[in-house]
Amino acid sequence: MQIINIYYKFKECGSVTTDTRTLKGGEMFFALKGENFDGNEYALKALEAGAAYAVVNASSEAAAAAAEGRLPADVAARLVVVEDTLKTLQELARWHRSMTFVDGKPLTVVALTGTNGKTTTKELIRAVLSVRYNVTATEGNLNNSIGVPLTLLKINSDTQIAVVEMGASHPGDIKELVDIALPNFGLITNVGKAHLLGFGSFEGVMATKGELYDYLRRTSDKVFLNVDNPYLCRMASERNLQSDPERPYSLVLPYGVEYQGFTVLPSDADYPYLRLSHPVHGVINTNLVGSYNADNVVAAIAVGAQFGVSMDEAIKAVEAYVPSNNRSQMTRTEKNVLIVDAYNANPSSMEVALKNLDSVVADRKVVMLGDMLELGEDSQKLHKEVVDRLMSMNLSLVCLVGKEFAAACAGVDGILCFETSDALTQWLTENPVDGATVLIKGSRGTRMEKVMPVL
């Protein structure tokens, strides 16, 4: 079936789903297939549960049953048979994005990627732009080959700007996503050592993240560039974004903490969150933990300025934003102060988290870290570097979780190692921590947030 015909059916529905458990009735169900599941097996159940249509693979049993007349005519008519449901989902999202107009002009899409800070920056941009616009943005971290199309398909007649987060773990991932989202503006938060198992090297990380710059250069669209970041400046320079002789204007919209005259103020016991000062606009008090979030705040203000949000309006939006999902959160319990950044971890984000803890004023500091996953052959070296960093800090207690950290700690005194976060939780139950400032961080697979209830 041609994509235009599928699009007409989608417009009848107005929404899509890939999970029968979220069906409310009237949606278009996409039967996606993964390593451990096959949505095609649930297509007929989706129709029974109220889906208006079910998009299935031509090789599926449901498609065969329809072709052989083994289904009631009304059920068969609601099956949309395609060669590849994921590719169709992506093509439908691209089509929908292309067919959406605001005041007679194509919808504006802002895309962002980066090693660290993507989701926080996206949420800050959403908050700032929402001052003046109806914004459709990536929910949570639905930033992959499935999540990006689902985000685009949530664009509706009220949407005035879309903000799309893009993740990557292999070369070509960002290229695939920008070819779906067709962004007009792009922002890379930073580049660091993450997913090295997939990228192969730090250069591989830069090349893949740079696929966003590559796309925007081809289309002569704009890049929000943190000009304080030498790696991003290098990536922009290599692509002649600022001085391409074939283009008489710069494709770069510069921003930066230092570039724009911001100063990061020291945190203290009375106000442990990030604070910035500006010579004209005064002090910005955020609810974010860590000076590393300064770049994310300034990025959001820069995006807002491009779309007519004043500095004062942007500052109010930033100050009102409260992080969630275990990202840059500070929580005060009855016993401790918890700095929770447990959604993910890589060497660069681990370093800035430890640097931030160093700057925190506290009588007793405790660190609980989980393995950094997907680092490939450099994993042991990179974990050992974290252990060495920990040994240089003034810490009351260090607890590490996972096989990589256990190997890196061999022969090191003063550090406790645990196989799992559950094992650490049990130990903390028997050996309570009280009166401490505790950093909790690790890759998603280590589930470090499990220790929070006993702290």
DSSP 283-319: EEE-S--SGGGHHHHHHHHHHHHHTT--HHHHHHHHH
> pLDDT (tens digit, 9 = 90+) per residue, 253-268?
999 999 999 999 987 7
Per residue in 195-219, pLDDT tens?
777 888 889 989 999 999 999 999 9
Domain of 177, CATH number, reads: 3.40.1190.10
The helix (H) or strand (E) run that includes residue 328 is none
User: Are 138 and 276 in a shared domain?
Assistant: yes
Mean pLDDT of 111-116: 94
Residues 153-174: pLDDT tens digits? 999 999 999 999 999 989 999 9
d(CA 42, CA 48): 10
| Same domain as 412, residue 314 | no
Residue at token pair 């401490």: 436
Q: What percentage of the chain exceeds 70 in pLDDT?
A: 97
10 lies in some domain: yes
Domain boundary among 296, 320, 344: 320
How many Cα atoms within 13 Å fall on the side-chain side of residue 257? 16
pTM exceeds cut of 0.75: yes
Quick check: is 197 in a domain? yes
Per-residue model confidence as pLDDT tens digits over 312-343: 999 999 999 998 766 778 888 999 999 988 87
Residue 378 structure tokens: 């450099």
More confidently predicted of 379 and 242: 379
Give Cα 448 distance to the centre of its chain.
Answer: 18
Domain count, the chain: 3
Question: Domain range spanning residue 65?
Answer: 3-85
Q: 95 in a domain, yes or no?
A: no
Residue 290 has pLDDT above 70, yes or no: yes
State yes or no: pLDDT of 66 exceeds 80.
yes
